[in-house]
Amino acid sequence: MKVEKNWQDAHLYPPDRLAVHVTNICNANCTFCAYQYLTDKKALLKEEHFVKTIDQYQDMGGSFVDFTPLVGDLLVDPKIFDKLNYVTGKNYFKTVRFYTNGILLGKKDYPKRLLEARPTNVTFSVPGFEEGLYQRVYRTKTYKKMLKGVHEFVRINKESGSPIKVNFSVKPDSPSEESVYTEDYKKFIEPYIDEDSIIFVTDLDNWGGSIKQEDLTGNMKLAPAIPIGKKNKPCYYTFFLALMVDGHIRLCGCRYNNGTEYDELVVGHVDDNSLLEIWQSDKAQETRANFLKGKLASVCQTCSHYAPYSGKERAEKTIINYMSRS
């Protein structure tokens, strides 16, 4: 059984997860996502920032790389397969995963190149498998392209013995028989995935107050708000580091509000300090401690994605232990 660690000591262990935001550009415009309000400059992550951060995370003993951008789709990056191969080619990280809308798998060879890159997990974010629904919720006319590419990927993955664990995170706005378990699903997806691959997201997050009930369609609904008084332990997501598109490092790679990712959760830049220094910095530790004082970052105050630190996900060994072995 894993021994729980105090949050005050968590910085002595490798970050639970490193999120790598290869881009903040998306080719969809989902009703439930704060991407529609993003005002930050659109960009792609530079290779030097990518390589440096991955290498330093490995040296620290990190084991979990998540390529899911905060908002944006990783397949928009024309060099995404080089980046994925760089990480998986190390044969070191236990988990290499991401969410994608899958639209760009409609590009020639992309399903094959993704299979060859061998991430451990891929989760497709879709509203369901019906064209009208796709246009209503993802607000793009790329349903057929997405279906063709995703079908090809799940087909060849299954043919290869399912080396990549595939899931679908579905967010329909209508009853599942009409929206998810459709003819398209039965023909193009179901035969190639495991029974437990479909995950329904019924309570949608409000993105620190950016998304309102009126942004949503049909029977979609927001998750209940969490009162600030109940956010009295550091949020679990502040124990993740996220490499932003311009090389800044932020705690929590999952939510922002007020149209910008550059907020109080940004704790450094990889050109100025090592990942280890940023992870163990006073600013990072203070941001976590502030939860106990009720002094939350703006996005955290209204965020319904908050989860209290559990202490169960620490690595077996401390960073010093990992580094002294290398």
- Residues at the interface with ligand SF4 (CB under 6 A): 26, 28-30, 33, 35, 71-73, 101, 125, 235, 237-238, 252, 254-255, 299-300, 303, 305-306
Q: How far is the CB of 274 from ligand SF4 (least distance, A)?
A: 23
Residue 114 CB neighbour total at 10 angstroms: 25
Q: Least distance to ligand SF4 from the beta carbon of 172, Å?
A: 14
End-to-end CA distance of the chain: 27
DSSP 190: G
Q: Which residue in 148, 124, 150, 145 sits closest to 135, CA to CA? A: 145
| CB-nearer residue toward ligand SF4: 30 or 122 | 30
CA gap 248, 93 in Å, rounded: 22
CA distance 49 to 51: 6
Using CA atoms, how far apart are residues 122 and 239, in angstroms rounded to an integer?
Answer: 22
Nearer to ligand SF4 (CB atom), residue 152 or residue 215:
215
Q: How far is the CB of 15 from ligand SF4 (least distance, A)?
A: 13
For residues 100 and 15, give the distance between their C-alpha atoms in angstroms, rounded to a whole number: 23
Instruction: Decide if 217 contacts 207 (C-beta within 8 A).
Output: no
Q: How far is the CB of 321 from ligand SF4 (least distance, A)?
A: 27
Please identify, using beta-carbon distances, which residue of 156 and 201 lies nearer to ligand SF4: 201
Q: State both tokens at 140.
A: 């793009």
Are residues 235 and 45 in contact, defined by beta-carbon separation less than 8 angstroms? no
- Per the structure block, which two tokens stand in for 218? 């049909």
SS3 188: helix
Choose between 23 and 157: whose C-beta lies nearer to ligand SF4. Answer: 23
Shortest spacing between CB 92 and ligand SF4, in angstroms:
27
Compare residues 93 and 306 and give the one whose CB is closer to ligand SF4: 306
Q: Which CB, 30 or 115, lies closer to ligand SF4?
A: 30
Task: Please report, for residues 3, 42, 74, 106, 203, the alpha-carbon distance to residue 21 in angstroms, rounded to integers and kept in the order given.
Answer: 31, 12, 8, 22, 25
For ligand SF4, give the closer residue by CB, 300 or 318: 300
Least Å distance, CB 299 to ligand SF4, is: 4
Q: How far is the CB of 256 from ligand SF4 (least distance, A)?
A: 7
User: Taking the CB of residue 162, how many other CB atoms lie within 10 A of it?
Assistant: 13
